[in-house]
Structure formats: C-alpha cells, structure tokens
Structure 1
Amino acid sequence: MDGHYLYNSEKFDFTSYFKIAWNLDEEERSSDSDFKKMDEVCGRHPEAVANYLAMQLLYAFDANLQDIKYQKDYCAATMRSSMWPLFKKLFLAENFSEKERTEVSEIVQEVRSSWRMLLERMDFLNKETRREALGRESILETNIHPNEYTLLTDRLVQEILNVEVVDGNFAVTSMNLMRLKVDIQRFSTRHSLDQSSGIRTQEGAFQLNSKLTIFAGGLHPPAYHRSLPDSLKYGTLGYIIGQLLTSSLVDSDDFEMLYSLHKECLAKPFSKHLKPKYVRLFYLFIGHGGLRQAFEAYRSHRKQLLEDPERNVTSEEMPGLDLSPEQLFFLGFAQMYCPSDPNWAQQKHLVLSALSNSQDFHQAFNCPVGSRMRPSKFNCYIWY
C-alpha cells in the first residue's frame, strides 16, 4: 500500500506496542525513529503485515453500526478524526478572534502581576528563593495558540483539499481517506502538532514550562467564553493561570516547608466525608495559591475599569442570579470542577478546601465562624 501502514487506533494500542516491542515508554521514545523501526519490522514480515492490513481494512469498512440512524454520527466522527486540521482552523476562525486573544492576554497579565505581588509579600520565602521566582516570572513568555504551527497546519489543510472522492465507490474513497489520516498523523507527530480537532481538554490546553502556553482550542466553557462577565472569567481562566504559576514554585525548599506545616490543616476540613485516597494535598496546596492570585487579579482589573472613564464597564450580573461580582467569581471557580468525572470526590475536596480556607470567600458570602464553609476560626490562610 505504497508504504502507508494503516491501523485502527481503537483496536491497536500504539503505546502498548512500543512498550512491548522495544521496551520504550512514551516519554522516552522519539516518534520519528519509532516509525523507522516499525518500517524495518514490517519489511522483515511482509506477509504478516499484509494480512494485518487486510484485516484492518475490513474492520474499517465495517463500522459495526447497530442502526442506520448512527450513520451520520459515524461519518462526522470519521471526518473529525481524519481532517482535524481543517476543523481546527474553522473552529478557531469562528470562536477565537483577535478580540478574544487580547482579552485572554489581559487576564494572563493581571494574574501574573498578582503573582509578582504575592511573591513579594510571602514571609516564608527566603531572599534567594524570592529572587529566583521573580526572575523566572519576569522572563516568562506567554504564548496563546502557538503561531508557529499555522503554516504547518495550512499545509495539512491543502492536503485535505486534494483528497479524491470517488462517487459511488465507498471502498476507494475510504482508502483515500485512511491514507490521508495516516499521512497527517505521521506528519503531525514528527512536527509535534496538536492532533485534537480544535476543542481540547482543560488539562491539555494550559501548559507551563519554558513558556506559558494557552491553546485557543481549550478556551471554551467552563474555562472561558467571550460572553461571560469578567468575574466568571477570572474565577475560571484566571484561576487556571494562577494554579500554573503557583506550581512553578514547588521545587523550592521553602515551598516544601510550607506544605509540610499546613498539610494536616489542609486535610482536616470535610475529610470525614471523603476517603483518604481522594485527598491529594499537594494539589490542594497549589489550588489555594491559584485561587488567591486570580481573586487579587480580578479586584485589580475591576478597580482599573472603574477608575478609567475611557473604558466601558460591562455588567457583572447574571440573569436570574442575585449574586455580587465577587460571589460570581467563586461560582466560576467551583464550576470548573462540576463536570461528570470519576474523580469527582477528589475535585469536591479541592473546591471545599480552597473555599473554606479563603478569607476572600468568607467576606464575599459573609460566612460566620461555625458555618459549613467556615467551620473554625483557625483556617489555613496560607497565601495571605
């Protein structure tokens, strides 16, 4: 088949294959060299490969649909998986204009400013740790939807436009489509392109290493929507950014010491309702820091809007909700952890722990000592 090796990713686990065949974990292997090794294996066993590809081709022709009503969904899924660069381009053109890019950039800058001020106020940091943390923040580059991928993605879109669709011949058209899918996958793997179809998961959309990278395909609810009031945007997107920045401090001895001092306090609220295996204290610790940064950033942003007569102050109300802007901020944060998830108990603990140990939350909702969300006056006010 002209050197193209076809497989069904749902029936053939590449990760397991590489681990079994060459004892390589995904982090250790070079994708380009792996393909070359696979080519060598296929060259030594051409009959086995031919049989395998024939079976995969039969599987591809049989969608195993239970009813004709599922055909539309099957075809749509096939298009999304094989033509993801095109769908991604269309998604971004529709949902992420320069206006959204500017707004997201402003939120990031506000949270980064909040993080710098928080670093200056942290009494538990020694001078060296503070200096290093501020230095890392000062040179950190923000990268929203990596522009360097645009030309590569456009090349793939052009390949999609060249796919031959043969009227009345499902088999030939399907093979052309599968060949396209493999070509795109191999190309994108070599160039480390994002192979999702525009919308990404929250976990994969925000990354911090040498750059603070935000993939525009991940800027959808609950993390972000252009129509949300600023309070909700800072409670969601702002919190995510703050959480990433807080994680940059975890390698310091000062952070480890602070964590050790507060881990019991972090675990105490609501722990009787949750099993220990669901309590990831380190994650809670970082989450507290992200929430604090985001709230400070929102207050600074709101103050600037109110003091600047040249800027339009948008409404901070939500229809049907009698909540103040500060209350909406915390509602946005909590909604980040509301989707159906097998780890909901763990996420619930993060929300309850972060809010029950937040002075800002207690003030926004006027929580008295002894109430459910403020069970004690001795709280883990870590980042204040």
Structure 2
Amino acid sequence: MMAQRHFDLKQWLVILSGFFAVQPLCEAQRTDIGVSTPVPLNLSTTVVSVPGNSTPVEVCTTEGCIAIADQILSGMNFSADPCDDFFAFACDNYIAKHPLGNRKQFNVIGELRAQAEQQVTDMMEPNANDTMTLSDAELKAKRIYAQCLAKKPDVEPLLRFMNAIMLSGWPMLKPSWDSSSFNLYNVLLNMSSFGVQPFFITELVQDVGDPTHNLITFGQPTTFASKDTLQSDIGQQVTVSYFEYVVGATRLLLKQSGVNRSVSAVMNDAMDIVDLEIDLAMAGLGDVEQRDITMLKDKMSLGMFQNNFLNQSSFFRQFTSFTRDLFTLAILSNEIDRNTTVVPMTAEVFRRIDGLLASLESLGDVGRRRIANYVGWQLVNANLAYLTKDFAIVRQEYLSKIGMSASDPKDDTAAVECGKSLRQVMPLAVASIYVRNFVPPDLQPKAAMMITDVKAGFGQMLRTANWMDDATTTTALQKLQNMLVFAANSKEITDNATALNREYSEVKIGDTFLDTMQIIIRLKVTKNLRKLTQMNVRPDPYNDAYDITTVNAYNEPIENQIVILAAILQSPFYDSQVPQYMNYGGIGFVIGHEISHGFDDQGSRFDANQLLRDWWTDTTRELYDNKKGGFVKQYSSFCTEEVGCLNGRLTLGENIADNGGIKAAYKAYFDFFKLRVKGEPEVSLPGFTDFSPEQMFFLSAGHLWCGSTSLEKAQLLLLTDPHSSARFRVNGPLSNSPEFGQAYKCPLGSKMNPTQKFSVW
C-alpha cells in the first residue's frame, strides 16, 4: 500500500463494488459451486393458536428468533402501507427510536459495526494465559495494542519522524524555514517509503491482460474533497471545515512542541495548503469518470509516460529515476527502466498535476514554501491517528463535520481507536484471535451452503436471460463457476501458527506506538513493491490480508472473487438459530449483491479468466447497455425534497448489484434451499405468525437498511457515494421485483408494484 491515507487502486475498485462503503482489507479460500452439505435447522419451537386460523402455527423459540423478531417488530410502522413505501413500513419506528443527536448517521449496520469493534477491544485485553495460548504473532499484536493504549501526550515522536523525512523541517512549525535546503525529490521518496504520496499513488495491480503478473499503476491522489463535491453547493462548507481542521491540528502541534507562531501566520499557510489541495482535486477525474474500468488497459512504457506527459516540473522530469529509486526499497531497482510497462490513471491527469507543480516552482521561494507546507501537512495528517486522544478528537471532529464519521467525535474510546489502527497493520494476527473467540467452527460450512444456493440462483438468472445470446451466456456461466469465494475466515491462517509467525517475523515494537506503526507500514510498502516480480496465485491468504473483523462484504472484479467477512455473519444478517428465510433475505441478499457485481457495468468487462476484454457479442452488449440505461433513468428519478435526486450514473454498479442480489437470494431460498429440506415449511418468528415466508424474506432484506442520516452527510453522500441512499436501496430493488408485489399483494400500478419494472438479469 503505497499511500497510507489514500485509497489504493484495489481498494478503490472494492469500494465501487462493495455492499457498503468499505474500508481496507484480509484473504481467501475457494468455495466451489455445487459443493456443500445441507445444514439441519434444529430450531426449538412451540405450537401456538392464531385467531382466525384453525391450524395451530409452529413458532420458533430460540434466543436468536426472539431477538430478531423483537428487533424487527420494534422498528416497523404498521400504519405505513408496504405497497406505497416499504422502507417506511420496515424502518420508520427504528428511525423514531434512534434520534441522531450529535451523530451524523445511525443505522442497523452501524450498530453491528460497533458490536464488532467492541469484540475486538474485548479480545485484545491481556489474559494471564496469553503466553501459553497465543502464537508469537498474536502476542506481538496484543503488545502493540497495549502500547497504543499507553500513549503519552508527547509530540516528540512525530516531530522526530517528520524531521528525518523533511530535513529542512516543516515551515508550519519552523518560523525561520530556509527554502534552499528543501529537496522535493528526496522528501517524496522518503514519504513514499512510509506510505504517503501527496501528488500521486503508486500501486502494484494485477495485469488485466495477464492475471498472473502485476503492473505498476499511477493514480491521482485522494484529496479532502472530490472535484464533484468542490463544484457543488456544499463545496464551500466542506472546504471551510477542512481549513479549520488544518489550523486546529497545527495549533495543537505548535502548543505541544513549544513553538510560537501567530494565528494569522498559521492561517495564511493553511490557506496555501487548502488551495493547493483544491487545485490537485480539480486536476483529477470526477467520481463518475473514475468508474471507467477500461483505464486499466491504458498501458505504456515508463519512458513514453515520462517524455509525453511529465516534462514541465523539475520533479516530474526525474520521474523515471524516482520510480527506480522507490523500488530500491524492495531491492528491485534493476527491474525499473524506461521500458518498464506502467498504467497511468490517467496520463492527462498527470500532465495537469505536473503543470501545477511547475507553476509553483516558477514562484521561487514562495512556491517552494507552499509545496513544503502541503507535503508536510500530508505527513502530519497521515499520522495524527497514532498520537494521543486530543489529536484524534480534532481529526474526528473534522470528519464528523463533513459527514465522513457517523459517530460523535467524543464517543470513540481510545480502545476502539487502537483496535482500528491495529487491524490496519496486523489484520491476520487480529483475525486469528477473533476466530478463536467469536467464529463458531461450523460457520464456514453453513455460509458455504448459502453461497452455493445463491450462486445457483444467479446461474438460473443467467440461463433464463433470453436477451443474451448463447455464446455470451456460456462465458458468463463459466465466469460464475470460476468465481472464488472468501467466506468468514481463512483456515490457512488460523490453523497455521508457524506461517502466521513468519508473516510478522520482521515486525519490531518501537519505543513509541507511532514508531511501531511506521516500522510496520514500511514493511507493508516494501511487500507491496515486491509484487512486481511475483506470480499471482488465486487465492493467496497472505499477499492480500482481509480484515475479517470489519462488517462488510465486497467483490474484487480484477480477481473475480467475492469476500464475505466473518463480522458480517452475525445477526441481523445471519444467525444459525433463526429460520433460513431470514438468513437468505439478510446475508443471502449480500451474497447475491456481491455475485451480481461480477456482472455489473464494471465487472462485466472481465471474462471468465479475469481478462479485461470485449467478450460480449455486439448485439448482446447493446441490449445490456439499454438495460443499464433503464436503471440510470429510474434511479435518477428517486428524489427527496431535502437532499435532491440520486445520480443514476454514479450509483449504477451498486443498483445493478442490489437488484440482481435480491433476485438471486430469492431464487436461492425458494428454488434451491427448499429442495434441501424437501419442501418442509419453516417455522414462524414470534409475533409474525400472519406473515408468509415470502413476506419475511423481504422484511429481512429491508430491515438491514433501517437508519437515518443527517442532512449534511446525506448531501455529501449524494455526490460521492456509489451506493444509493438507504430508502432507495430498499424501495428500488423491491419495486422492480414481481415476487415482492405478489408477496405483499400490492396492486399493479402502486409505487412498490409499478407497471414498468427495470432489470438486467
């Protein structure tokens, strides 16, 4: 991971194809379609009499059934018409019972995430038997967690680290800064070795023309706001919040380091930092433009990239040498020359960034100071989370203001923050402890059963898509069969302490937590660079380490793999002690969503062998594009008076996945799971004896999205989030489902059963 505070390309693709807004990553094992063992239900029940029904009804009485029934019932609004607004029917009372207060967002998913974070903090507490029961890697993780909790209010480690990278110092903290000793080339090289790249991101990504090898990609930096946000009505508000954050964090650093600078001087430098970051954002691509997956095919030699696009600023005129020096970290400098194949994302963006740097260089000392202040701020911003709580609060307050943090800044405890930091750098060691404490041994086979059924359901959808020609259908089915699945956790990690210890053998615990984090981050950067000469293996549980404690699921389109992390396999998404119609409507929907991503506007570009190529016939692709256009039109018409209308193009991939996912999960339960139990009816949940399994399936799916969002956060998400807002993630797919209309007996022409329905599959 070459840029610590920015999303790398793989994470960017994951975010565009994930079930939620996703966070960084752990790895995989294969679940083959058709290979799964039926799982007996074994639910305790009781028989009750229902008024108006002469036949007694069997009701589930497990703790899981009672809990999920209470949770769903308490959130429902029975005065709302499910055929008019199913989200209101399923979620209105949940929203009323959970006012936002100082929070930016509160929802069912957030509650589960908080539960998972608490699980991590609980398991990382020291135990008298740790030295006897834990592996060396696990012990190391616990010691680093304890070191994080013991942080002292001391900025000296950060100042020491910054001065080692910026020998001239950071102008914001050095009133008498001398521009003559500032060497941008060396500073950026040093920063890159610790995962911070302010002007571009270097990443090793699977070659879309040869999946066994990796190529160097160069991407635009992630700035505090996207081009689209800056050009919107909330652009000024977001910019002011960021400016206040830069000033606040800098003043706190000045105070704790004993340096005196006037507020006006700090504000002037902060304005320069923000202005430069805005210029970088405006030089880049917009959110919709970045969805163009075909950019991965734009290969050229490093020499051609240098000659044709990077010839204005003194730094970029040395870019070939810089890249070679960077790979010296991994002892691979001999692999880099002007003939090395690279993928700029995109070359024109880099031409504009190069021009921006050149214009600053033309200003002499003034321009050099602005550049130095900007890169120094990026280094500070990347490391504030590793300092004490007061710095974390400044950062969280900023994130909360712009809607990037759902919680109140003061709600996150030091333990939660330390858990997050540790999960980022030692996910496999944390995963090993988590599995031992919170993952039942039978979770994987039970999840595998559902995945098999949902893949079969999606396969049925492909076979019955009469608009697809035979050749395209055959390749699509082969792609589905080749799709890898990471379910819950990797036994290659949890069952092999020797390999786990070897993975973290080079991790050393430094004098301070920040020192330790930089040691590990540098190791991660070096490991990533080494991928240049390594062969890719599917799956590889150590090269890409998934954080299984994250409540999330996603699709990796380049690798044709779906990832269902252990933490999401908990109630209300999944519970082995509830009727399966609840699980298929919950985690089954998630699984179907991720499978569908393999065939959305991006995933559909990759064939059965992970090659980015045109494998669709012209006629079928044209029909597919027409169907996509239907979704764009439909979702662009979904509006709220307070926030506005969805961007149907930005959310296209997620909308395709939502609609395909609910259909695949429905078929999985009613066409395939039912075969496993030979049509045996499942028991009712307490309080839901009047509801059919079909109705409960859709209610389970709808409940997942219960929650509310502040106006500020909703406005930002509308511009930047590839997912539709919660109400339309429920009402959109369900209104396109004939099965939903039948289940709830919605009149044809009602809002939830419109005469015109949109679909791809």
TM over 0.5: yes
The 3 A distance-change label for structure 1 pair 183 and 363 is same
Q: Counterpart of 1:298?
A: 669
Q: Counterpart of 1:328?
A: 696
Q: Kindly provide the amino acid, as one letter, of the partner of residue 196 in structure 2.
A: F
Determine if contact 2:555/2:595 at 8 Å carries over to the other structure. Answer: no
Per-residue CA shift, 1:274-328, capped at 9, x if unaligned?
544433473333432222111011113442244288xxx8645266785432222
Per-residue CA shift, 1:128-178, capped at 9, x if unaligned?
112222233334444434555565544346667x758xxxxxxx3546634
The 3 A distance-change label for structure 1 pair 36 and 231 is same
Residues in 1 aligned to 2:417 and 2:656: alpha-carbon distance in whole angstroms: 43
Q: Kindly provide the amino acid, as one letter, of the partner of residue 481 in structure 2.
A: S
Q: Counterpart of 1:354?
A: 733
Residues in 1 aligned to 2:665 and 2:684: alpha-carbon distance in whole angstroms: 16
The 3 A distance-change label for structure 1 pair 159 and 266 is closer
Q: Counterpart of 2:67?
A: none
Residues in 2 aligned to 1:138 and 1:61: alpha-carbon distance in whole angstroms: 47
Match of 1:128 among 468, 471, 478: 471
Q: Kindly provide the amino acid, as one letter, of the partner of residue 696 in structure 2.
A: L
Q: Kindly provide the amino acid, as one letter, of the partner of residue 292 in structure 1.
A: K
Aligned to 1:24, the other structure's residue is in SS state strand
The 3 A distance-change label for structure 1 pair 369 and 175 is closer
Q: Counterpart of 1:182?
A: 521
Q: Counterpart of 2:446?
A: 103
Aligned to 1:16, the other structure's residue is in SS state coil
Matched, 1:14 2:196: yes
Could you say which structure has the greater relative contact order, defined with CA pairs below 8 angstroms and 6 or more residues apart? 2
How does 1:27-106 map onto structure 2 within 5 Å?
A: 36=327, 63-64=389-390, 72=415, 76=419, 79-81=422-424, 83-106=426-449
Q: Kindly provide the amino acid, as one letter, of the partner of residue 282 in structure 1.
A: L
Q: Counterpart of 1:199?
A: 549
Q: TM-score scaled by structure 1? A: 0.69
Matched, 1:287 2:658: yes
Residues in 1 aligned to 2:330 and 2:473: alpha-carbon distance in whole angstroms: 51
Matched, 1:234 2:584: yes
Q: Counterpart of 1:24?
A: 218
Match of 2:744 among 358, 361, 365: 365
Aligned to 1:246, the other structure's residue is in SS state helix
User: How many angstroms does 1:220 deviate by?
Assistant: 3.8
Matched, 1:212 2:581: no
User: How many angstroms does 1:351 deviate by?
Assistant: 2.5
Q: Kindly provide the amino acid, as one letter, of the partner of residue 694 in structure 2.
A: E
The 3 A distance-change label for structure 1 pair 15 and 107 is farther
Q: Kindly provide the amino acid, as one letter, of the partner of residue 155 in structure 1.
A: R
How does 1:249-260 map onto structure 2 within 5 Å?
A: 249=599, 250-251=604-605, 252=616, 253=618, 254-260=620-626
Comparing 236-245 and 361-370, the one that deviates more:
236-245
Q: Counterpart of 2:135?
A: none
User: How many angstroms does 1:78 deviate by?
Assistant: 5.2
Per-residue CA shift, 1:80-132, capped at 9, x if unaligned?
55554332211122333341100111111111212222222221111211222
User: How many angstroms does 1:230 deviate by?
Assistant: 1.8
The 3 A distance-change label for structure 1 pair 116 and 272 is closer
Higher helix share: 1
Residues in 2 aligned to 1:317 and 1:6: alpha-carbon distance in whole angstroms: 61
Per-residue CA shift, 1:31-83, capped at 9, x if unaligned?
x978545799xxxxxxx9xxx8xx97x9766553679x965555555555555
Residues in 2 aligned to 1:297 and 1:349: alpha-carbon distance in whole angstroms: 23
Q: Kindly provide the amino acid, as one letter, of the partner of residue 633 in structure 2.
A: A
The 3 A distance-change label for structure 1 pair 130 and 367 is same
Q: Counterpart of 1:155?
A: 502
Comparing 342-351 and 126-135, the one that deviates more:
342-351
Comparing 116-125 and 244-253, the one that deviates more:
244-253
User: How many angstroms does 1:338 deviate by?
Assistant: 3.9
Comparing 138-147 and 294-303, the one that deviates more:
138-147
Q: Kindly provide the amino acid, as one letter, of the partner of residue 648 in structure 2.
A: V
Residues in 2 aligned to 1:291 and 1:35: alpha-carbon distance in whole angstroms: 46
Residues in 2 aligned to 1:266 and 1:61: alpha-carbon distance in whole angstroms: 44
User: How many angstroms does 1:199 deviate by?
Assistant: 1.9
Higher strand share: 2
Following TM superposition, where does structure 1 have runs of at least 4 consecutive aligned residues deviating by more than 6 angstroms?
26-29
How many residue pairs get aligned? The number is 349
Residues in 2 aligned to 1:34 and 1:231: alpha-carbon distance in whole angstroms: 56
Residues in 1 aligned to 2:527 and 2:692: alpha-carbon distance in whole angstroms: 46
Q: Give the % identical residues.
A: 18
Q: TM-score scaled by structure 2? A: 0.38
Determine if contact 2:639/2:645 at 8 Å carries over to the other structure. Answer: no
Determine if contact 1:6/1:178 at 8 Å carries over to the other structure. Answer: no
Per-residue CA shift, 1:168-219, capped at 9, x if unaligned?
xxxx35466346533653466457645565323525x443544434253453
Q: Which runs of 5+ in 1 are unaligned?
A: 41-47, 165-171
Residues in 1 aligned to 2:636 and 2:689: alpha-carbon distance in whole angstroms: 27
Residues in 2 aligned to 1:23 and 1:302: alpha-carbon distance in whole angstroms: 43
User: Who wins on radius of gyration, i.e. which is larger?
Assistant: 2
Q: Kindly provide the amino acid, as one letter, of the partner of residue 293 in structure 1.
A: A
Residues in 2 aligned to 1:381 and 1:297: alpha-carbon distance in whole angstroms: 18
Residues in 2 aligned to 1:261 and 1:296: alpha-carbon distance in whole angstroms: 21
Q: Counterpart of 2:629?
A: 263
Q: Kindly provide the amino acid, as one letter, of the partner of residue 468 in structure 2.
A: L
Aligned to 1:307, the other structure's residue is in SS state coil
The 3 A distance-change label for structure 1 pair 255 and 299 is farther
Q: Kindly provide the amino acid, as one letter, of the partner of residue 295 in structure 1.
A: Y
Residues in 2 aligned to 1:34 and 1:297: alpha-carbon distance in whole angstroms: 52
The 3 A distance-change label for structure 1 pair 157 and 89 is farther
User: How many angstroms does 1:224 deviate by?
Assistant: 3.8
Determine if contact 2:569/2:587 at 8 Å carries over to the other structure. Answer: no
The 3 A distance-change label for structure 1 pair 300 and 278 is same
Comparing 235-244 and 116-125, the one that deviates more:
235-244
